[in-house]
Chains A and B, each alone.
Chain A
Amino acid sequence: MLDKNGIAKRIAKEVKDGYYVNLGIGIPTLVANFVRDDIEVEFQSENGVLGMGPFPFEGEEDADVINAGKQTITTLPGASFFDSALSFSMIRGQHVDLTILGAMEVAENGDIANWKIPGRMVKGMGGAMDLVASAENIIVAMMHTNKRGESKLLKRCSLPLTGVGCVKRIVTNLAVIEVSTKGFILLERAPGVSVEDIKNATEGTLIVEGDIPEMDI
């Protein structure tokens, strides 16, 4: 079984040379730490920066340079700043190559829910609805089950949706899964995890074809 860093490490392998990538808050943010350093990748943050770098050194924080999580950041050579409409032009216009975000639930038809739990304080969707409605290449990073042990990979989402039929790939602490018209296709197992474990943790239709390899991370 993987921890959060393990999930991020596996997803980092999906980041290819020349990609512009948008990372959501939580596990997706960790992906930046594991991207190979022999490839060129630029990270976009929807509040208006392309070419994000690491956090600043103490004393060098700038209130005018933050990421979408409102954290102080730095920029790398070649970076650019832009307004919010242009930022979402990059996203909606499918200029961003890969979007990695978290989820509360994913359904076997690719629906995703990650912004609202009825009856609880609702903070808002931020840029998530624009991202999932537009990106061609979306990877969801999440734990396979919630804190109560219930599956987050469902036949149908029970929570209010963020987007419909948009998720292509899911990387969890247990597995790598592709979303197809027939259901969740199991591609890889996490180290030490059996196909049976994954079946038990998946409420939606899980398609297992042939031998399922263990993740190489």
Chain B
Amino acid sequence: MINKKVANVQEALKGVSNNMTFMLGGFGLSGIPENSIAELVNLGVNGLTCISNNAGVDDFGLGLLLQKKQIKKMVSSYVGENDEFERQMLSGELDVELIPQGTLAERCRAAQAGFPAIYTPAGYGTEVSEGKETREFDGKMYVLEHAFKADFAFVKAWKGDAAGNLIFKGTARNFNPNMCGAAKITVAEVEELVPLGELDPNQIHIPGIFVQRIFQGEVYEKRIEQRTVRQRD
């Protein structure tokens, strides 16, 4: 077994510095790497480019890094839930690149899988495809989209082991598996770091080869963004 376990979040984030590009898993606030984000706030690194589907809310998730003005550029598909984000975007302090959600996922996966670029129909004929190479296949038009290049990927899983194997839960899975192994260093934080051998190899979502560092997060708030319920009859 190749040991990926590190003692804590501080050790997991060693080598993080200003002006780096990060991938961060999560959809809304579901499945975000809460502990890694908190440590990035602690470290005070700035000038960051963050590839993440969303940008958190004002006081949670990537919103915490935005508050401290640590982010220079966001690459996302949807960013609507954050006043500070809006203020920085409209004032020009923050650079924002909006891309289709499926393209975001596939540019991560391409980096993970060793493809330099992929063709997608998404965005063809819209401003998203402006200045990009397009090509026809079987009578339909596609846009060439390049694999992301990132220094660190921060992902969050439900369970993991010292070998770096990961299992996700529910829709907290989202972009997390696609970002594993898509950056130079993948840091996985898990709710539960279980003893080696406890995870059934048949049930592993991401094999440890895609993960360089793993640690158990100290606390998980797991905040709910839109609490919707139905009444009991």
Contacts and interface: CB of A to CB of B under 8 A. Distances in A.
A103 interface: no
A212 interface: no
Interface in A26-50: 45-49
B171 A65 contact: yes
A164 interface: yes
Per DSSP, chain B at the interface is loop
B171 A125 contact: no
A58 B227 CA distance: 9
Contacts, number: 182
A133 B77 contact: no
Range, interface on chain B: 35 or more
A56 interface: yes
B226 A160 contact: no
Nearest to B28: A70
A66 B171 contact: yes
A70 B225 contact: yes
A164 B127 CA distance: 11
Interface residues of A, number: 52
B88 to A, nearest CB: 12
A111 B224 CA distance: 36
Interface string B205-233: 10000000000000000111111111110
Interface in B126-162: 126-128, 158
Per DSSP, chain A at the interface is loop
B174 A48 contact: yes
Interface stretch (B9-17, B65-73, B117-125, B195-203): B117-125
Interface in A107-158: 111, 121-130, 133-134
B79 A63 contact: no
A88 B101 contact: yes
B76 A83 contact: no
A95 B105 CA distance: 18
Contacts of B101: 46, 84, 88, 125-127, 130
A125 B108 contact: no
Interface string B39-80: 000000000000001000000000000000000000011111
B228 to A, nearest CB: 4
A57 B86 contact: no
Contacts of B78: 123-126
Contacts of A85: 102, 105-106, 108-109, 177-178
B29 A55 contact: no
Interface in B157-183: 158, 168-178
B90 interface: yes
A92 B30 contact: no
Contacts of B86: 121
Interface of B: 27-31, 53, 76-81, 86, 89-90, 98-106, 108-109, 120-128, 158, 168-178, 205, 222-232
Given A111-B125, A127-B101, A162-B126, 12 more contacts: A55-B230, A56-B229, A58-B232, A64-B31, A66-B171, A67-B171, A124-B76, A129-B100, A133-B124, A161-B126, A163-B125, A164-B124
Interface of A: 45-49, 54-58, 60-73, 81-85, 87-88, 91-92, 111, 121-130, 133-134, 160-165
